[in-house]
Amino acid sequence: MSSPVLFLLGASHHKTPLELREKLALSPERLPAFHQTAATLPGIRELAVLNTCNRVEFYGAADSAEAVQRLRETFCTFQGFPSDAFATISHHAAGLPAIEHLLTVASGLDSQMLGETEILGQVKDAYAEAQSRGTTGPVLNRVFQKAFQHAKYVRTHTAINAGHISVANVAVDLALKIFGDLSSTRILLLGAGDIGEKTAKAFQSCGAGSLTVASRTLGRAMELATTLNATALPWEHVAAHLGEYSVVVGSTAAPDVVVTLADATAAIKKRPSEPLFFIDLALPRDIDAAVAKLENVFLYNLDDLAKIADENLAARTAEVVHARKIVTEKSAALWKQIESQVGGGR
Amino acid sequence: MLQFTDRTWLWFAAACYLAGFVLGTVAVIRERKLSRALMYFIISAGFTLQTFGLYLRGLEVKGCPLGNTFELFQFIAWSAIALYLVIGATFRLSLLGYFTSVLAASLTLVSLSFPSWDPPARANIFGGNSWIEFHAALALFSYGVFCLLTLTALMYVLQVFSLKRHHLHGLFSFLPSIRELDHISLRLLTAGVVLLTASLGVGAVYWLDDTTTVNALKLTVTVSVWAAYAVVLILRLRDRLVGKRLSWALLILFAALLATLPLVSGSHAAP
């Protein structure tokens, strides 16, 4: 029997627009059926499916290029996707380039949001899924396990994932710089807008102590509070209770400021030794810019947060060359090991 | 190797602190996180060497080495490092090791650079009384606490500057949160005042027996330092002096404290 060929076949956000990715994505219900069908195709020895919102990729070991071609056709048939169209948007690699691609993906270098960390978990899930289905073998086991190690190495030895690059997470990062642990931090969300909701969720995912929603329409505030497992505060009580909160997120559509300098001054007097952090995500702005001059008060508006996110992205981008060099070196070393282990497939 | 003098060991200790400072600075410039374990190891090595140097000095003077400005600077740095080795492991405040190495390197190197601060002739300031020696050591240890407090106050000022001016990269990106710094500063301030109060309490027992044993200058300076820190603590507890103003007050106080050290040590003129 010939040595298995390590291969990669798939489509990602680079060449595939969202409307096509939607058609290619394997739903959680259909993924097991496809995985089973594909793994039993003649010539396919090992198979792992990486299925995320930005990519559908198959990593495997096959006896021949024909077996990979059969996998391509089976996938297109399974998804009802024209195979000639798939050929124009898909990417395919074998041997070292396939390893290099997996390491690039796992390191977050191939992600839409450069350096994001979620992808490594998704690659781990894909491998675990393949393992549980018994479709991994000596090639994929070695490649994936080393890919996890090397991806971690890239992240710890470069600044590829340094700083956050979304406005909501930058806001949370700033709150951590002010308060450290957020578990005792009370958050007040002013307005029920989309960006405010996202920021509130980001705070909750970082363990914020409690969340309160206030909106001009109490019904809307209560609705969002229910969604976010928070409490609602009548709008007319906001100024009086401002000092009870550590973080105030403004995201209303109000034409004028909703937190005045006098409101903030009164609030900080109630908590002189505790900082007060205003995050103004609204346009026009919700919070009077003059509050930034108050002692122990910190104010960041949408532009400030976006600027930090841009700087973080620039810092990550500057690390790409260094990170790619590491990936290339690690991939070559791993490829040598695979070749000596199972012949690797050329 | 054991033929080295106490000052040589103290130079070695200063070199360790300097190494911590240099490594930390390089890490900060490169925006890389310096290994806390490595910094802890370097400072521990410096502390061990400094302890040995001060031990040799103690054997030589047959008592706690607190007899001149050089020894006072060394003992304050040693106390601050001893406290850092406890606090650093407990609270894991990022960059505290770096700042501690900077201050320890400064204090030890400055004290070693002025031979006149360490004259061969010295007064027997304790008169063989171990309680007075304890009083002095406790007072100097409280100064060590204030030394570390100065570092947390400085970090607080820098973090507030960073957040207010939106400068979040470089050194600023590694600073602890301002609430953590505020909490640790309050604990250090309380500990320092308690230790200095205890020290003055012990000293007062002997001073009341014979008021001529301590000259007026030393007494005035020491009580002023104690009173100033006590007032700051009370104001902080009452939320009258908080945030950046508290930190600036602590920085100025420690600068004043250091400035008065030669006055205190100079008050014991060699016979």
Radius of gyration over every alpha carbon of chain A, rounded to an integer in angstroms: 25
Q: Is the predicted pLDDT of residue A346 greater than 80, yes or no?
A: no
Please indicate whether residue B2 or residue A158 has the higher confidence score (pLDDT).
Answer: A158
Min Cα distance A102 → chain B (Å) is 26
**pLDDT score for B127:** 64
**pLDDT score for B16:** 95
Encode pLDDT of A274-288 as tens digits.
Answer: 999 999 999 889 999
DSSP string covering chain B, please? -TT--HHHHHHHHHHHHHHHHHHHHHHHHTT-PPPHHHHHHHHHHHHHHHHHHHHHHHHHHTS-S-SSHHHHHHHHHHHHHHHHHHHHHHH--TTHHHHHHHHHHHHHHHHHH-GGGS-S----TTTT-HHHHHHHHHHHHHHHHHHHHHHHHHHHHHHHHHHHHT--SGGGGGPPPHHHHHHHHHHHHHHHHHHHHHHHHHHHHHHHH-GGGS-HHHHHHHHHHHHHHHHHHHHHHTTSS-HHHHHHHHHHHHHHHHHHHHHHHHTS---
Name which of A177, A183, A298 to mutate to probe chain B: the one with the most chain B Cβ atoms within 10 A of its Cβ: A177
**pLDDT score for A345:** 47
Quickly state the pLDDT bin for B66 (edges 50, 70, 90).
confident
Q: What is the average pLDDT value for chain B, to the nearest integer?
A: 87
Residues on chain A bordering chain B, Cβ-to-Cβ distance under 8 angstroms: 159, 162-163, 174, 176-180, 272-275, 292, 295-296, 298, 300, 304, 307-308, 311, 315
Nearest to B202 by CA among B214, B187, B190: B214
**pLDDT score for B261:** 81
Encode pLDDT of B197-224 as tens digits.
Answer: 999 998 888 777 777 777 788 888 889 9
**pLDDT score for B122:** 67
Quickly state the pLDDT bin for A27 (edges 50, 70, 90).
confident
pTM attached to this predicted model: 0.76
Encode pLDDT of B211-260 as tens digits.
Answer: 777 778 888 888 999 999 999 999 999 999 999 999 999 999 999 998 98
- Provide, rounded to the nearest whole percent, the portion of chain A with pLDDT above 70: 98
Min Cα distance A180 → chain B (Å) is 5
Q: CB distance A177–B244 less than 8 Å?
A: no
Among B169, B177, B244, whose Cβ lies nearest the Cβ of A178? B177
For chains A and B, count residue pairs whose Cβ atoms are closer than 8 Å: 54
The tokens for B1 are 């190797």
CA B144 – CA A84 distance, rounded (Å): 75
Q: Is the predicted pLDDT of residue A229 greater than 70, yes or no?
A: yes
Looking at the annotation, which residues of A are catalytic?
53
- Provide, rounded to the nearest whole percent, the portion of chain A with pLDDT above 90: 76
**pLDDT score for A188:** 97
Residue A92 forms beta bridges with which residues? A9
Among B162, B182, B244, whose Cβ lies nearest the Cβ of A295? B244
- For residues B229 and B192, the answer to whether their CB atoms sit within 8 Å is yes
**pLDDT score for B37:** 86
Backbone angles phi, psi at A212, to 5 degrees: -125, 140
**pLDDT score for A47:** 96
Min Cα distance A98 → chain B (Å) is 31
**pLDDT score for B192:** 95
Query: What are the chain A neighbours of B243 within 8 Å (beta carbons)?
Result: 272-273, 275, 295-296
- Biggest CA pair distance of chain B: 59
Please indicate whether residue A122 or residue B263 has the higher confidence score (pLDDT).
Answer: A122
- For residues A200 and A261, the answer to whether their CB atoms sit within 8 Å is no
Q: Is the predicted pLDDT of residue A257 greater than 70, yes or no?
A: yes
Averaged pLDDT for residues A131-135: 95
Averaged pLDDT for residues A200-218: 93
Quickly state the pLDDT bin for A2 (edges 50, 70, 90).
low
Least confident of A53-62, A227-236, B24-33: B24-33
Averaged pLDDT for residues A86-91: 94
Encode pLDDT of B94-112 as tens digits.
Answer: 688 888 899 899 999 999 9
Averaged pLDDT for residues A149-178: 90
Kindly identify which residue of chain B lies nearest to residue A294, measuring between CA atoms.
B164
CA B165 – CA A292 distance, rounded (Å): 10
Q: CB distance B166–A298 less than 8 Å?
A: no
Kindly identify which residue of chain A lies nearest to residue B166, measuring between CA atoms.
A304
**pLDDT score for B152:** 93
Q: Is the predicted pLDDT of residue A3 greater than 80, yes or no?
A: no
Q: Is the predicted pLDDT of residue B131 greater than 90, yes or no?
A: no
Q: What distances in angstroms separate CA B177 from CA A277, A278, B31, B156, one per listed residue?
A: 13, 16, 18, 8
**pLDDT score for B195:** 95
Q: Is the predicted pLDDT of residue B89 greater than 80, yes or no?
A: no
